Structure 1
Amino acid sequence: MPEGHSVHRIARQFERNFVGRPVTASSPQGRFAEGAAVLSGREMTAVRAVGKQMFAEFDEQLWLRVHLGLYGAWDFAGEILVDPTIASANGRMGQTNQRGTDLEEALGGAVFDAAGENSLTSIGAPRKTRVHVRMSEQTTGLADEDGEWPPPVVGQVRLRLLTDATCADLRGPTACVIQTPDEMLQTVAKLGPDPLVDDPEVGERRFLAAVARRNVAIGQLLMDQAIVSGIGNVYRAEMLFRARQNPHTPGRDVRPEVVRAIWRDWVRLLRIGVETGQMMTMDDLSPEDWRRAMASRDDRHWVYHRAGLPCRVCGTAIVVEEMQARKLYWCPRCQA
């Protein structure tokens, strides 16, 4: 499931390519035909992300709410105006603690991962390109367009949004609905604080209060979008390890200073994730380790997807278990 940083990146892509432009909407799959007919011909006036959900406003105060869920993805094609505050157009997930051309020079050149993406040099000025990009948890990367416009429909497209220069296709979302302003506000009100939406200090107080009154494992609370917005399976495992917190401790028993540290870590990681698009939660890497991490997701995390491998800190085998039908990775010694 796409985590919060990826949805914010998608929203920024819509802001640059669709807001202020009339949009033709259709539902090639047919499952959103009535909604597409209502939206078609209207101008997109605003877009925002809250946690794992995106809300696009159209004139006459209509809102499109999209929750990608486990399998959803947006595919963009045409002229893609790349936001200089995000690392790449293809929506590759994650974050880093190092960025920019100075780092690239220190590493001796561009750093490409297995998908051929250079996440460092893609940070820079906006550029217009004729490309096809996918923004989802399972990114497929960039591909050259063949010049056909609009691009042919491929697969089960729930919703196609089209301007004169840019196309966005939505596939496999959990939710794709039209809402009134009141309905949109009611949806947002049910979500926990998002560091990129709420004032971080206000969000911290909300998060502390919500965790303190729950007799539920902190590992479950971090995935509860009513407690905090945007955290998914990767960030959950990594943030708990970074805090050296046992995932099974009830929220009300976690020390307030630890809860506060977890929130502040989320503030930092979410912002970096939106900027860079790399879900790399390890800090202070050497240039060699950095290059290795950029080339392989297996080298980007402390515990996630490392079941049976030695903990990077203590050497204990990382364990994996089921928590609310999701895989939880943690170190039984560092997080005892």
Structure 2
Amino acid sequence: MFKIAVIVNCYNYAEYVERAIRSVVAQNRSDCELVVIDDGSTDASWEVISRTGVTAYRIENSGQRRACAFGLDQTTAPFVLFLDADDELVPGALDTIVPYLQPSIAKVQFCLSRVDGGSTSLGSAVPEPELIREPGNLRERVRRTGVYVSPPTSGNVFRRDLCELLRDADYDDAVDGIIILAAPFFGEIVSLPVELGLYRVHTRNMSGVGRTIDTDKIEQHMKRFEHLIDHLNMIMPKDSKSRQLDAKRTFFYLEKKLILASINGDANRYFQLPRLIGVVAQEYFSLPKKLVLSLFHILVALLPVSMSRHLIEIRYRPEQRSVGALTKTLVGNGH
């Protein structure tokens, strides 16, 4: 039986998809099941994919989540890696990952080296190795903050039963949503502080660069987060259901709520501040990080709207952030 399936999902990435495919083939592992899904590309992606000779399917455009779910139906391996078509695995990546694939493991996550469109190193990883090493009970971290340190899609290997949750996530188009959030509740998380893949930063996946903060996007992501938490509460294993999650009490939600209120000049931001600072004080963050976060949110709440907005834009400016999730929360981002 195959130990791992790699599903490459592609939408209009003709210039990169062959690199992604070749990076998997070069792993030279007989226990790797490779499938490529062309999600109705309108460029030359299908022609590029076809000439590689790997197992591939061309479907009507339906979005990343549905394309990856279709890929699940074409594979049988008990563990799955969804590789974005503009990303790559480094040589020997699967040799490092496969020994960790055991029934008790819900997810293996690893760092990705940031490169530009021409594969030139940008000198940092996502997430940084020291962040992925963070100890602590990840279930409790999700309960209290709504998040934990996790790489983008291509830096995760999921147990297949976790991937099946994608089929009921009709509120979402992304893959790195419910299955990342739910993973700590379904088994152990193995975090490897090594760079086993390439995360390509280019003009199309950094489409928010140079834009001002989009309040509509903030509201959309808050709503998406509520849907994610509702879904997680529904599918959480029985031993966890006695402690349901409340999206509106998490750091993630409260922070976005304060930022939105500050941008809009809502007087309620003053009353929201103490609750958010109280949540920060109780979190797993280091003391220096707690102090920095607290100062940031105090300034955001108390400064005039124009200065507050500028401060928020500095913190979340896309070209200065290595973690895509923060960028997607505050600015527009392309498919």
Q: TM-score range by the shorter chain?
A: under 0.3
Q: Which has the higher helix share?
A: 2
User: Taking structure 1 as the reference length, what is the TM-score of the superposition?
Assistant: 0.27
